[in-house]
Structure 1
Amino acid sequence: MRLSTVILPVRPWRQGGRDEWLRAERLGFHTAYTYDHLSWRTFRDGPWYGAVPTLTAAAAATGRIRLGTLVTSPNFRHPVTLAKDLLSLDDISNGRITLGIGAGGKGFDATALGQEAWTPRERADRFAEFVPLLDRLLTEESVSATGEFYSAVEARNIPGCVQRPRLPFAVAATGPRGMALAARYGQAWVTAGDPKVFETGTPEDSRDALRGQLEKLDKVCADFGRDAAELEKVLLTGFTPDRGRPLDSLDSFVDFAGHHIELGFTELVIHAPIPDSDFASDPVVFERIATEALGQLGIG
């Protein structure tokens, strides 16, 4: 099992931002992710920096830890320009980039470019076209394609990714169409839980829902002739009925992690502490979890 973190891009690089990424590497996290939004929820009226420049700076500052988005979406991205950014990030990081990618939602990103927010069906339609084209752009030297939503004309990405055949995709999905993309193109599958049980459900309800998602993923993978065991199973924590309680103490986290490892998850992602926010937690406990939790679980 891997333990990773997500660092929200809310701190200026020279005022603590750089230190966040160096700390994540020092603590031994497998991957440090960041959200790829233009702004997000309660952080909308405060500092929020771009994911690609932040990851570029993090790649230059660190030397071991993997880096990635959790997640990028079509809300304000185009496969052609995103592929060039990812190719460059993979080079600068010497092959340490993972692309977390999802269909997007109806938050601030959905209308920031002046468009109407897409319906869930429209988001799924675009996602179904976005991922295959991005896969081609990152594996072929020259790509031309004409789609309903996205096209490319002799788009070149030479010399290709450091990671071969391309950098890994971690596909966030809970519905059948998104899971099909994970089964076909993903090296990992990502979930944050079931939003239907977030507000009123119990931790047990959440685990039952996650068990159901994993069973659906197994079936979808089988339909594609792929063994679901080939996919890493990533849980972004903080959005289940437990909320932030697993970060209250090392013992609480070990208990939480143990339950989810039993379900079949292979990577848990915890938020780096942000004071006076939904992600406030004790930095000392956070560091203990990073350095001691896997040992307590008998892993690593």
Structure 2
Amino acid sequence: MTSPNFRHPVTLAKDLMSLDDVSGGRVVLGIGSGGTGFDATVLGQEAWTPRERAGRFGEFVALLDKLLTQGAVTERGTYYAAEEARNIPGCVQQPRLPFAVAATGPRGLALAARYGQAWVTTGDPALFETGTPEQSRAAIRGQIERLGEACAAAGRDPGELERIMLTGFTPDRNTPLDSVDAFVDFAGRHAELGITEIVLHHPIPDSDFAADPAVFERIATEGLAQLAG
């Protein structure tokens, strides 16, 4: 997962083509507008306003799409530019490697609908501290509905996009890692909303992602087997 906080489209395109090559065409780009706080200032820049962040994100994704699908690109936007950026031979995956676009607001959802092969959500940030799991699922249901509306406006079938849930940022935090049954219940409830893929953080001791590694391993085998069955 990357963002405009840390990257420029021209150099990122080169990196992605190399990764796509060495992986034999197995790379998916996760991309979002970027976080605030430390993420926004770690390279020494001033934090962007929400308006500028959204503007940069839109320009970044559109330019990156061109760089990965065209042999040479010259473009000058408000925030990013490319001058005869040559990208030959291009991606192993054609017409380019897939984009998984993280978004919850209208401008980001429009980007996902236009450029994404997948959409990523972490839930509703406003519910992280004080919300309930039920409120979180209702918010995600609303996000999926708005994604469908964005796809309709872009002339796309919403079924073309995978819908990915990145866990650890909803009111139930790491509850899915409490047990195999807890994971199966969590995944099943979100599948009912339309989520097609669940992403779990590997346990990190003494962090927000602390969990029992043995349970994590059981989820990777028994839990997935239950869902598949």
User: TM-score range, shorter-chain basis?
Assistant: over 0.9
Counterpart of 2:104 in 1: which secondary structure? coil
1:65-87 per-position Cα deviation (integer Å, ceiling 9, x unaligned): xxxxxx21101210000000001
- Counterpart CA distance in 1 for 2:6 and 2:125 is 23
Partner of 2:8: 78
Are residue 211 (structure 1) and residue 141 (structure 2) matched? yes
Of 288, 292, 295, 2:218 maps to: 288
- 2:58 aligned partner: 128
In the alignment, the residues of structure 1 paired with residue 122 and residue 158 of structure 2 have an alpha-carbon distance, to the nearest angstrom, of: 18
Aligned-partner Cα distance in 1 for 2:138–2:23: 38
What does residue range 168-247 of structure 1 map to in structure 2 within 5 Å? 168-247=98-177
- Within 5 Å, which residues of 2 pair with 1:1-300? 71-297=1-227, 299=228
Q: Which runs of 4+ in 1 moved over 3 A?
A: none
Instruction: State how far apart, in whole Å, the 2-side matches of 1:227 and 1:291 are.
Output: 32
Counterpart of 1:258 in structure 2: which amino acid? G
Q: Which amino acid aligns with 2:193?
A: L
Alpha-carbon shift at residue 278 of structure 1 (Å): 1.2
Bigger drift between 225-234 and 107-116 goes to 107-116
Q: Secondary structure at the match of 2:28?
A: strand
TM-score (norm 2): 0.98
Deviation at 1:113, TM superposition (A): 2.7
The 1-side partners of 2:201 and 2:118 are apart by 19
Identical-residue share of aligned pairs (%): 75
Aligned residues between the structures: 229
> Compared with structure 1, are the counterparts of its residues 200 and 109 closer, same or farther at alpha carbon in structure 2 (3 Å cutoff)?
closer
Unmatched segments (≥5 aa) in structure 2: none
Deviation at 1:296, TM superposition (A): 1.3
Structure-2 separation of matches of 1:83 and 1:228: 26
In structure 1, C-alpha distance between the alignment counterparts of 2:40 and 2:169, rounded to whole Å: 21
Greater relative CO, 1 or 2 (CA 8 Å, sep 6+):
1
**Matched residues in 2 for 1:119 and 1:250: separation?**
41
Cα offset, 1:95, TM superposition:
0.7
Q: Secondary structure at the match of 1:233?
A: strand
* Residue 107 of structure 1: how far off its partner (Å): 2.5
Instruction: Give distance in 2, aligned partners of 1:137 and 1:85.
Output: 12
**Where does the alignment leave 5 or more consecutive residues of structure 1 unmatched?**
1-70
Q: Distance in 2 between matches of 1:236 and 1:212?
A: 17
Q: Deviations 1:109-165 (Å, cap 9, x if unpaired)?
A: 312232210011110000110001000000111110011111101101111101111
**Match of 2:38, as an amino acid?**
F
Q: Distance in 2 between matches of 1:172 and 1:98?
A: 13
How many angstroms apart in 2 are the aligned matches of 1:76 and 1:276?
A: 26
Residues in 2 aligned to 1:160 and 1:87: alpha-carbon distance in whole angstroms: 6
